[in-house]
């Protein structure tokens, strides 16, 4: 558990335990009532749910910071290298064939790096956004059912 005591995660886990209950409100109330004995309150449920959202936001920001640094390392530096190689090609006619090969390879690496990084970024962001949406929906239902 991320937090001391019963929190949002335990509530969600408890809700899974009563999945057989068809009525959603009854399912929420049953899961909540089971955990009430451990000191869980609506306020704590909402507060820890919000804290989980904050943790996800923090993780997404941290990921984006690392992504930007990695992008600079993997893509921008290689793009600068590509430009230098193109200038060398122009100045050194005797090395045209070898430099063309390096340029092509570096270009492929850039494309590969961009594709890999963007794919990882998109997957992570999608997962984070899906989890945020899920938590927001849960919090909305909690507010709806416990108003």
DSSP secondary structure letter of residue 5: S
Banded model confidence at residue 1, pLDDT cuts 50, 70, 90: low
Whether pTM > 0.85 for this model: the answer is no
Tokens standing for residue 31? 């899961």
**According to DSSP H, which parts of 72-95 are helical?**
77-91
| pLDDT the model gives residue 3 | 77
| pLDDT the model gives residue 92 | 72
Enumerate long-range contacts of 70-79, CB under 8 Å, 24 or more apart. Answer: 70/117, 71/117, 74/113, 74/117, 75/110, 75/113, 75/114, 75/117, 78/106, 78/109, 78/110, 78/113, 79/110
What's the whole-number mean pLDDT along residues 96-100?
A: 78
Rg from Cα positions in the chain:
26
| pLDDT the model gives residue 139 | 96
pLDDT tens for each residue of 9-39: 999 999 999 999 999 999 999 999 999 999 9
**d(Cα 40, Cα 110) in Å, to the nearest integer?**
51
124, 70 Cβ separation under 8 angstroms: no
| pLDDT the model gives residue 100 | 83
Say how many residues make up the chain: 147
Banded model confidence at residue 48, pLDDT cuts 50, 70, 90: very high
Q: How many CB atoms lie within 10 A of CB 8?
A: 24
In percent, the amount of the chain with pLDDT more than 90 equals 79
Question: In 3D, which of 33, 4, 11, 40 has the Cα closest to residue 138?
Answer: 11
Tokens standing for residue 38? 């451990």
| pLDDT the model gives residue 147 | 81
Lowest-confidence pick of 8-22, 47-61, 83-97 = 83-97
């Amino acid at each position: 558990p991320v937090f001391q005591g019963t929190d949002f995660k335990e509530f969600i886990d408890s809700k899974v335990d009563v999945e057989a209950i068809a009525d959603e409100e009854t399912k929420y109330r049953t899961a909540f009532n089971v955990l009430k004995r451990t000191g869980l309150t609506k306020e704590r449920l909402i507060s820890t749910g919000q804290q989980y959202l904050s943790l996800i936001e923090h993780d997404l920001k941290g990921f984006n910071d690392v992504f930007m640094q990695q992008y600079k390392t993997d893509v921008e530096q290689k793009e600068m290298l590509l430009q230098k190689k193109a200038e060398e090609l122009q100045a050194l006619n005797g090395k045209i064939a070898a430099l063309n090969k390096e340029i092509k390879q570096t270009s492929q690496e850039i494309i590969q790096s961009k594709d890999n990084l963007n794919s990882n970024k998109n997957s992570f962001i999608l997962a984070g956004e899906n989890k945020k949406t899920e938590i927001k929906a849960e919090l909305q239902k909690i507010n709806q059912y416990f108003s």
